[in-house]
Amino acid sequence: MAHSHDSHSSYHGTVKGYLTGFVLSIILTVIPFWMVMEGDFSTSVKFWTISILAVVQIIVHLKYFLHLDFTHEGKPNTLAFLFSALIIVLVVGLSLWIIYESNAMMM
Amino acid sequence: MTTQVTYPANAYPVPEEEHHDPGENTLFGFWLYLMTDCLLFASVFATWGVLYFATDGGPGPKDLFELDYVAIETAALLVSSITYGFAMISAHAGRKGGALFWLAVTFVCGLVFIGMEVNEFHHLIAEGAGPQRSAFLTAFFSLVGMHGLHVTAGLLWMIVMMIEVSKRGLGGKTLTRLGCLSMFWHFLDVVWICVFTTVYLMGAL
């Protein structure tokens, strides 16, 4: 088992990596909360900004906390995630599209 | 039928090969489980989106949610993410005391989060905005409650891991289990990003 400790350090990260991820995710959390609570922007600007910041924050978490990458060790997890993400976009996106279109048609 | 390549008898890959760490298989398998869990969450998020306007004349998101309260919940969960990261670093460095300390800090943060969420649910139900009030509220309680149940499961698992680490130390199997819980915990944080964005922030727009 001795070999296993150094060989996949990317799996459990470094202090620097966690701190970077933490600082980035604080920034990416504070901005959308501030925008919605205090910010004087139009609704559509707020909607798209908080959506984009959420996606960026998810990527930050995946990279720094869940250690997804395209190295030999990280690749299987990353590919499994990308496939799931595709299914999620289909499930959520198409559900919303279909239901709201059908609602609009029945108005 | 001819084959061009012939293998010597000992060239076939065998499961016990040295670079084939069974711990990594466990971590990958657990990650695949989390991906199926993602799909479960995705369907509940889709339900939430579809039922968003189905308030049945009852209270809507603007009447119910307090963003400063949610911001504190979010902070507790974010801090618990980095403290779990420190627990993993201590564990891989073989520092048992450090690992236990950071696991305990993570546990407290998670407990704060769950306590606040239960309190929020309690208030909503006391105001007459329980899950039976409207389809919108059913979707809200299902989505946020399911995330809360996951966090609660993670907390119970964390207690088990703290006992295991303190009794058995930081052996290979224990490290693998800590690694699985690490993915579980960070995964729940990712789900929470989607929750606070789509439920609370978009609800307040």
Give the nearest partner residue to A92 out of B45, B182, B189, using CB atoms: B45
Any domain includes B15: no
Give the nearest partner residue to A12 out of B42, B89, B189, using CB atoms: B89
Count how many pairs of residues, chain A against chain B, have C-beta atoms within 8 Å.
124
The mean of the pLDDT values for chain A is 88
Any domain includes B4: no
pLDDT at B200 (0 to 100): 96
Any domain includes B11: no
| Separation of CA A34 from chain center | 19
| pTM for this prediction | 0.88
Structural domain boundaries, residue B68: 24-204
pLDDT at B22 (0 to 100): 78
Mean pLDDT of A67-92: 94
pLDDT at A11 (0 to 100): 60
A57 has a pLDDT exceeding 80:
yes
Contacts of B71 (CB under 8 A, 6+ apart): A29, A33
Any domain includes B62: yes
Q: Give the pLDDT confidence of B98-115 residue by residue, as tens digits.
A: 999 999 999 999 999 999
Which residues of chain B make contact with A44, given a CB cutoff of 8 A? none
Any domain includes B1: no
How far does A105 lie from chain B, in Å, by closest CA?
15
Any domain includes B105: yes
pLDDT at A73 (0 to 100): 85
H/E stretch holding B151 reads helix B135-168
B3 has a pLDDT exceeding 70:
no
Q: Residue B48 is part of a domain; what is its CATH number?
A: 1.20.120.80
pLDDT at B15 (0 to 100): 52
Nearest to B195, CA basis, from B159, B146, B136, B157 = B146
Mean pLDDT of A67-83: 92
Question: What is the Cα–Cα distance from B159 to B146, expressed in whole angstroms?
Answer: 20
User: pLDDT over 70 for what percent of chain B?
Assistant: 90
**Is B189:B78 a contact under the CB 8 Å cutoff?**
yes
Question: What is the Cα–Cα distance from B91 to A2, expressed in whole angstroms?
Answer: 15
Which residues of chain B make contact with A32, given a CB cutoff of 8 A? 197, 201
pLDDT at A107 (0 to 100): 78
Lowest mean pLDDT among A67-71, A82-86, B138-142, B188-192: A67-71
Give the nearest partner residue to A29 out of B27, B78, B82, using CB atoms: B78
Number of domains present in the structure of chain B? 1
Tell the residue number behind the tokens 């030999």, with chain if given: A72
A6 has a pLDDT exceeding 50:
no
Which comes out higher in pLDDT, residue B14 or B124? B124
CA atoms within 13 A on the CB side of B194: 21
Joined tokens for residue B65: 């949610």
* Inter-chain CB proximity A65 and B50 less than 8 Å: no
Any domain includes B18: no
Question: What is the Cα–Cα distance from A95 to A83, expressed in whole angstroms?
Answer: 18
pLDDT at A4 (0 to 100): 42
Quick one: DSSP state of residue B94?
A: T
Q: Give the pLDDT confidence of B57-77 residue by residue, as tens digits.
A: 999 999 999 999 999 999 999
User: pLDDT over 90 for what percent of chain A?
Assistant: 79
Any domain includes B8: no
